[in-house]
Amino acid sequence: MKLINMFSRLTRPSTVAFICRGFSSSPSLFQVSSHTDAHQHHMNCKVAVLGASGGIGQPLSLLLKRSSLISQLSLYDIAHTPGVAADLSHIETRPKVSGHMGPEQLKDCLTGAQVVIIPAGVPRKPGMTRDDLFNTNASIVRDLCQACTEFCPDAMIGIVTNPVNSTVPIASEVFKKNKVYDPNRIFGVTTLDVVRSNTFIAEAKGLDVSKVNVPVIGGHSGVTIIPLISQATPPLSFPQDDRKKLTVRIQNAGTEVVEAKAGAGSATLSMAYAAARFTTSLLEAIGGAEGKIECAFVRSDETEAKYFATPVLLGKNGVERNLGIGKLIEYEVNLLKEAMPELLANIQKGEDFVRQS
């Protein structure tokens, strides 16, 4: 099995059933196949969600509660967590749920966690960029990652909190400071960009969305989001104007939701779905499943940016192999050039925040 082919067959979840398609068998968020049944109950995976009472945290916790790969779901927030945990604990699925509230309960929440997903923070309002969230969310991510370095230094960390282009460098710097940094275990969850690309492109072409896969590279805001339509599965092409319109829509899809919600929040349900998809792939890889590929914003040597999203092959210890950016067409090369100054500035901003705090 050639790794080259895996790039064009990014792991996709199917909402109906798990169909084993050889190399990139797709995880379902809702059902686990008999192929996984054999080892899933030997997996005693504790997953912690930090920010579990929020707009993303609650639906994410609900989706994770449906996973038979998780034995304990540990929920943390600064308010309402006992209620969220009580509510979820009534659901007839495998994970045991615990609720933890306030910084003094972080130790219990995190101790023994193998995977930590962090959606904590404030959402965007109309007119705000992801960068406008920086001041509030930067310190939240810094403090939660500090707790992770103390109580679960070997856990896989999935950062959902925006601006991801800056919060992932913040997480990394905190782990470095505490001398427990492993670049293969810290992920910026950019899965939503892939999910949106698949959805919009399937709609535009009238295709079955479960068969469409579009890798998305770069970062996780505006021009730094680079959908590689030229590398889509199945192969497809668009007139230049249409390609440009689709690209811009994918780049601004978050704003589309922020404006449609008119002050009531940002993309919470689609983000929860995407984060659950990413977490499911990661858990399956930890459990020994092969060929689990997701795009994620990780420490990278692919470009001049220290962090860069590309498809990565997931393994028992996090990133097993970075599958790179592949062959770009001229239009995509130009998108990459446009993205780079902003991406570099975002990364620098995150690193500086930790150095100065």
The domain locations on the chain are 35-190, 191-266+295-354
Distances in Å between the Cα of 154 and the Cα atoms of 48, 53, 131, 140, 322 are 13, 25, 29, 20, 20
Per the DSSP assignment, residues forming a β-bridge with 118 are 159
- Supply the pLDDT for residue 279: 98
Predicted confidence (pLDDT) per residue in 48-88, tens digit: 999 999 999 999 999 999 999 999 999 999 999 999 999 99
- Supply the pLDDT for residue 38: 41
- Supply the pLDDT for residue 130: 80
- Supply the pLDDT for residue 60: 98
Regarding the domain delimited by 191-266+295-354, which CATH topology (the fold level of the hierarchy) does it fall under? Answer: L-2-Hydroxyisocaproate Dehydrogenase; Chain A, domain 2 (3.90.110)
| Helix ranges restricted to H, the chain | 3-7, 34-40, 57-65, 81-89, 106-110, 134-151, 164-177, 191-205, 240-251, 253-260, 269-286, 330-356
Provide the whole-model pTM: 0.90
The segments of the chain whose pLDDT lies below 70 read 1-42
CATH for 35-190? 3.40.50.720
Q: In this structure, what token pair is assigned to residue 125?
A: 């309002």
- Supply the pLDDT for residue 125: 85
Pairwise CA distance, residues 309 & 122, whole Å: 23
Residues classed as catalytic: 220
- Supply the pLDDT for residue 42: 64
